[in-house]
Amino acid sequence: MKITDVKVIVSSPGRNFVTVKIFTDEGLTGIGDATLNGREKAVVAYLEDHLVPILIGRDPSRIEDTWQYFYKGAYWRRGPVTMAAIAGIDTALWDIKAKAAGMPLYQLLGGASREKMLCYTHAQGTEISEAVEAVAEKIEQGYHAVRAQVGIPGLPAVYGTDKSATNVAALNNLPHEEVWSTPKYLRHIPKLFAALREKLGDDVELLHDAHHRLTPLEAARLGRDLEPYRLFWLEDTVAAEHQEGFRLIRKHTVTPLAVGEVFNTIWDARLLIEEQLIDYIRMTTVHAGGVTPLRRIMDFASVYNVRTACHGAMDMSPVCLAANLHLGLWAPNFGIQEYTPYLPETLEVFPGAWTAKDGYLHPGNAPGHGVEIDEALAARYPYERSYLPVNRLEDGTLWHW
């Protein structure tokens, strides 16, 4: 088999997605997600100008060799743009291989290790009472695990509670700015989880995302203060470039820790995994460079009792979700999958075989990863410039968002 053509499709059915579509001389096609929220076009240029010309004429079955060629062969390794571009191609090649075999991708990875996959979704409110209601609603809808975020008194809307921050239209021009105070946040969050446990009891799994804003000592304090409420995890406490920082957090709290949505390679997580400084690794197919490296990372993590928890916010396309689901159905150390239901227009552009029911997900049994792109429909949703928000302390200092 030979690769005859590669298209990089940019569309915005609710939000921007970059999709790689690979065509072969045997008529089989495969698609992969290459979306990097807020920097989409950098990945498009990387693909079109540098990777696509090398792909034409190659054998699509040589997935490992192609991955190594693009990773090692560039000389300049790693980074979100490079790895998202490679992921788009790698995922599309696995899709083709599984279609050629007439099997769902999870079968090629080693088969199912479970019948269904636990997921968690998001709920939030400006006030604690509103957040508690929102979580209760998700439980009523059938979810067993919910990430809870709340507004902080004295601050305008913060991470996870500002609806405009997820609205493409609101972000069209320049980045929206948020305001942050760690002391106010640290005082307020334990009150949210006290209220949640009081209202919902102990059976519900509760999660929280600090979005990289704390120092290790502050994270340790928050982890300790949340211990009575038995969280499923506390996510992204500190900016994890400093992997050693997790040693201090780990020493002081038994609240489980998750990190990794912004990681691109195993090297971003090696120490965290080897020293068992985290409980869940959040790397996801598109930002980790594809199915090939993420499978390797999952296996590495399994040796150290670290479980998988792929990033699954709406800014990764259903193609990425499907790839995560195939990996997760196979992974012996699967933990949980993040799931935020897509907008109807996104699902129309990316029809798929995966299912979400009663708080569980399954990739389906269609050959490949099971998601296709409706190109004609995608063309009706042109790219719209969009940015993630930025964050400042109350005195104006630029902070982590």
Q: Which residues bind ligand CS2 (CB under 6 A)?
A: 37, 209, 211, 261, 311, 313, 315, 338, 388
Give the up-direction half-sphere exposure of residue 377: CA atoms within 13 A in the CB hemisphere: 13
Q: Which residue's C-beta sits nearest to Mg ion?
A: 209
* Cβ 236 vs Cβ 210: under 8 Å: yes
Catalytic: which of 46, 71, 143, 159?
A: 159
Which of 375, 310, 343 is CA-nearest to residue 168? 343
The residues pairing with 117 across neighbouring beta strands, listed in sequence order, are 361
**159 counts as catalytic:** yes
CB closer to ligand CS2, 60 vs 160 = 160
Torsion from C-alpha of 258, 263, 265, 266, nearest 10 degrees = -20
CB closer to Mg ion, 66 vs 391 = 391
CB closer to ligand CS2, 225 vs 261 = 261
Q: Which residues contact 357 (CB under 8 A, 6 or more apart)?
A: 142
Could you tell me the smallest distance in angstroms from the CB atom of residue 209 to ligand CS2?
5
**211 counts as catalytic:** yes
Q: Report d(CA 203, CA 206) in Å as an integer.
A: 9
Which of 334, 316, 330, 332 is CA-nearest to residue 371? 316
Torsion from C-alpha of 339, 182, 393, 385, nearest 10 degrees = 0
When CB distances are held under 5 to 8 angstroms depending on the partner's kind, the choice from Mg ion, ligand CS2, none that residue 315 binds is ligand CS2
Residue 217 has φ and ψ, to the nearest 5°, of -65, -40
Could you tell me the smallest distance in angstroms from the CB atom of residue 236 to ligand CS2?
6
CB closer to Mg ion, 33 vs 236 = 236
CB closer to ligand CS2, 109 vs 272 = 272
Could you tell me the smallest distance in angstroms from the CB atom of residue 172 to ligand CS2?
16
Sign of the four-CA dihedral 213, 214, 215, 216? negative
Q: H or E element: which one contains 150?
A: strand 145-150
Catalytic: which of 122, 144, 211, 369?
A: 211
Could you tell me the smallest distance in angstroms from the CB atom of residue 121 to ligand CS2?
10
Beta 390-393 vs 398-399: how paired, if at all? antiparallel
| Tokens encoding 120 | 């968690």
Could you tell me the smallest distance in angstroms from the CB atom of residue 126 to Mg ion?
20
When CB distances are held under 5 to 8 angstroms depending on the partner's kind, the choice from ligand CS2, Mg ion, none that residue 338 binds is ligand CS2
Residue 114 has φ and ψ, to the nearest 5°, of -160, 170
Give residues in contact with Mg ion (CB under 5 A).
Answer: 209, 261
Which of 265, 212, 232, 221 is CA-nearest to residue 390? 212
CB closer to Mg ion, 240 vs 327 = 240
Q: Which residues are catalytic?
A: 159, 211
